[in-house]
Structure 1
Amino acid sequence: MEHRDFQNGEALCVPDRQARSRRNIWLGAVVVLLACCLVALVLEGVFRLLPVNEGLRGLSVDEQNPVFRFTPHRESVYSRGWNFSIVNRVRTNNYGFINDHDYDPALTTPLLAVIGDSFVEAVMVPFAQTGVARLAHAVGAAGRVYGFGTSGSSLSQYLAYARYVRDTFHPAGLTVVIVGNDFDESLRKYKNEPGLHYFAESPAGDLTLTRLDRPVPWWRDWVGGSSLAMYLYVNLEIRDVWKRFAYRPGQSAISRPRFVGNTAAEATSERVADSDRVIEAFLRQLPEMAGLPASRIALVVDAPRPELYDASALKAVSGSYFSIMRAHLMDRARVGGFEVLDMQPAFIADYAQRRLRFEYPDDNHWNGTGHEVFAGLLQRSKVYRDTFGFVQP
């Protein structure tokens, strides 16, 4: 009898122990969640005191707004990396481009438009040190210099900007800044980022300019409102973490490409052939898109950096993809009547004289010195002279 009662009592205790165990698990989970929230709040407070990248807040791209721009009339902090190695404060003007001054399409003074990607956007450079600002200052009241640049743009996107600038501002001259990743990334075959224009293969086999519409992501304002989230998403670039582990020692040169001019150095026959088609389509369409003859358009071509600081290093990359494509572009552009401004001899000559580098230690974009050389080269150009009627010393 006693044995049976003991068993019954033991059976009654089992559900109690299970219930207590479940409660402990839930309490533990709640404690961990509250602790995580507390840590997140503390980190949020800390990062609000630091120069976290605040983002530029791109607008939607659609039929009503056909080219990618940023939210107008907004000041924000730009910073790079986990340790804020570059910090700058930037302003988007009334048309949503990075510029301390607004654009006025009603003015009749001659306008030189400068189109490009992040090299023209130049969020890492204090505005007064940018090429656009230097040129505008040099021209003064005699004319205007407006910049139209957004990160990620390529030759195909430059055509869309040229058409937009033609219809909105009616420039007297045009400058297009061309860098290493502008060629193959103009094709949807190689890149497919919403909000930009790309060349797509038509049924007839031609390259046609195609816009990829871009709604504002639903999570953009939520992430943008948190300094901790922006630090993780922009400064740490956690969305691209996988790329840091994609290349491991021992892989082939194809799977682990060396970069020259911000793009993979490998020049396969297919990649070069595709890029040559892009160059032909770009040069053929640019005068019509810009509303200008080729003689009023200057193409500024970047140089392989940092290889240009050493003659042997520069010679060693002569067969790289960027070196090949920049040569193809310049040759065909000259035949087409465009003015070609090669940054390579300009950079080499300036470096020999001043021994100042043209990019940041951890960022290959032009620094203030690079922009200075760019502005000086453009001021000596025929397009500059034809636009404003004089040449600055």
Structure 2
Amino acid sequence: MKTRLKNLLFNLFLVFLSLVFSFIFIEKIVLKYFSPVTDIPRVIHIDGMTRYKPNQKGVYRLANEYSAPFSINKNGWNSHHKEYLVERNQKLRIAIIGDSYIAGLETGYKFAIPYLLEEGLGPDEVEVYAFGIGGAHLAQYLHIFREEVIRFNPDIVVFLIIHGDFAPSYRKVQMASGRYGGTFLTLSLLPGNSIKVVPPKPYNSFWDLLLDFRTIRFSFYQYKLRTKISYIKNFVLDRQYKMNVDAEGLRNNFNSDKIVADYVVKEIASIAEIKNINLIFAMNGDTQSIYESIPSIDPSLTLKLNAMMGEIVKNRGGDFIDLHETFKNDFEVNNIKFEFKTDGHWNPYGHMKATETILNAIKRVLKMRVSMN
């Protein structure tokens, strides 16, 4: 009996030793020299806000589909501007706020909306400051606008809204998305439809220690292991998702979404009026239904959010862009998809098409500003 137990323990030790050496070999040899692993920009909590750690550079990769450089500036945002200056110059200043679409890690900052806007308007006359971080939502956009963007005294502020921006702003079950999603400002919907602001929380840098391992970055980021597990889980539980949003949640929480969205836009608009800032809200289209000849889920579920957001923005004096029509019209002519195959983010073509529409809206606003002066 003792001999059998001894042999079992010895065999288990050999298995453990084999796993350790395999891990070291993969970590130190394979993923370093033969299969380069994605870099992940670290985040930090400064001045009450989670942002990227300043002055980082790296290459963001996803499977074999894209490889894009990122450059986090002195202020903690992915941008071709090395530093955002508080002092104004003679240029028109535009700020654009959003989540990972505006952070532009997937395409690289030179193929994302902020850079394309500046190039389209003329970098000698206009500067575009990007304030994007993955996982941000409506409530966090308000926080970024109030605590960060206002310091730079912009003339125009553009917000890019996606369908997944609503529920995480106030629904606890969806707030803590990703390793730092729980650090964002959130809202609490109280009886009587009043809103309570829940302050942001500091970021726990423990997670960054795990990112030092290439194996972790390769599995969870480069090949989206967590996302694939979620897909399997949702398939087993028969959960339907529309543009990365729970379809059932869209049906059940529409009124709450509207209350929260109106609060956020109202707060932003009140500050913008005092500061003489023009506001533009652009909202993503339902590209999933555009691609499907017979949509698997009723597109009116998501497009109802677009219509709701458009009504709220216009009632608060802002300009609204519905990118659904932009994408729908373009796909009918060119039949080119706007997202990466292995990732739901816009590819360079998607950014280019969205930029064209936003650019036209900015030009209309500029004409209005000139006529009023």
State the TM bucket, normalised to the shorter chain.
Answer: 0.7 to 0.9
| 2:189 paired with 1:201 | yes
Deviation at 1:100, TM superposition (A): 2.6
Please give the secondary structure, in 2, of the residue aligned with 1:247: helix
The 8 Å contact of residues 77 and 132 in structure 2, kept in 1 or not, is answered as: yes
Please give the secondary structure, in 2, of the residue aligned with 1:88: strand
TM-superposition CA deviations, 1:256-306 (whole Å, max 9, x none):
232222212235654111111112111211123456679710010111013
Q: Which of residues 19, 40, 46 in structure 1 aligns to 2:30?
A: 46
Q: Which of residues 55, 77, 83 in structure 1 aligns to 2:59?
A: 77
Please give the secondary structure, in 2, of the residue aligned with 1:123: coil
Alignment of 1:353-364 (within 5 A): 353-364=333-344
Alignment of 1:332-351 (within 5 A): 332-351=312-331
| 2:204 paired with 1:220 | no
For residue 67 of structure 2, what is the amino acid of its counterpart?
V
Please give the secondary structure, in 2, of the residue aligned with 1:91: strand
For residue 333 of structure 1, what is the amino acid of its counterpart?
V
The 8 Å contact of residues 269 and 317 in structure 2, kept in 1 or not, is answered as: no
Please give the secondary structure, in 1, of the residue aligned with 2:282: strand
The 8 Å contact of residues 298 and 383 in structure 1, kept in 2 or not, is answered as: no
Deviation at 1:239, TM superposition (A): 4.9
Q: Where does residue 248 of structure 2 map in the other structure?
A: 266
Q: Where does residue 164 of structure 1 map in the other structure?
A: 147
Q: Which of residues 361, 364, 369 in structure 2 aligns to 1:381?
A: 361
The 8 Å contact of residues 295 and 339 in structure 1, kept in 2 or not, is answered as: no
* CA radius of gyration, larger in: 1
Q: Where does residue 330 of structure 1 map in the other structure?
A: 310
Give the share of equivalent positions with the same residue, in percent: 17
The 8 Å contact of residues 281 and 321 in structure 2, kept in 1 or not, is answered as: yes
Deviation at 1:84, TM superposition (A): 3.4
For residue 355 of structure 1, what is the amino acid of its counterpart?
N
Distance 1:151 1:384 in 2: 29
Q: Where does residue 296 of structure 1 map in the other structure?
A: 278
| 2:235 paired with 1:283 | no
Query: Would you say how many aligned residue pairs link Structure 1 and Structure 2?
Result: 360
Deviation at 1:79, TM superposition (A): 1.9
Q: Where does residue 216 of structure 2 map in the other structure?
A: 229
Deviation at 1:383, TM superposition (A): 6.5
Please give the secondary structure, in 2, of the residue aligned with 1:215: coil
Deviation at 1:123, TM superposition (A): 1.0
Deviation at 1:25, TM superposition (A): 4.2
- From the superposition, tell whether residues 228 and 296 of structure 1 become closer, same or farther in structure 2 (CA, over 3 Å): same
Q: Where does residue 247 of structure 1 map in the other structure?
A: 234
Q: Which of residues 33, 49, 52 in structure 1 aligns to 2:16?
A: 33
Q: Where does residue 299 of structure 2 map in the other structure?
A: 318
Which stretch has the larger CA shift, 51-60 or 116-125? 51-60
- From the superposition, tell whether residues 290 and 337 of structure 1 become closer, same or farther in structure 2 (CA, over 3 Å): closer
TM-superposition CA deviations, 1:88-115 (whole Å, max 9, x none):
2212111111113222222323211011
Deviation at 1:384, TM superposition (A): 6.2
The 8 Å contact of residues 68 and 195 in structure 1, kept in 2 or not, is answered as: yes
The 8 Å contact of residues 115 and 176 in structure 1, kept in 2 or not, is answered as: yes
For residue 38 of structure 2, what is the amino acid of its counterpart?
N
Gaps of 5+ in 1: 1-16, 250-254
The 8 Å contact of residues 294 and 338 in structure 1, kept in 2 or not, is answered as: no
TM-superposition CA deviations, 1:111-150 (whole Å, max 9, x none):
1101111111121103222111111123211121011111
- From the superposition, tell whether residues 165 and 301 of structure 1 become closer, same or farther in structure 2 (CA, over 3 Å): same
Q: Where does residue 5 of structure 1 map in the other structure?
A: none
Distance 1:382 1:238 in 2: 39
Gaps of 5+ in 2: 177-181
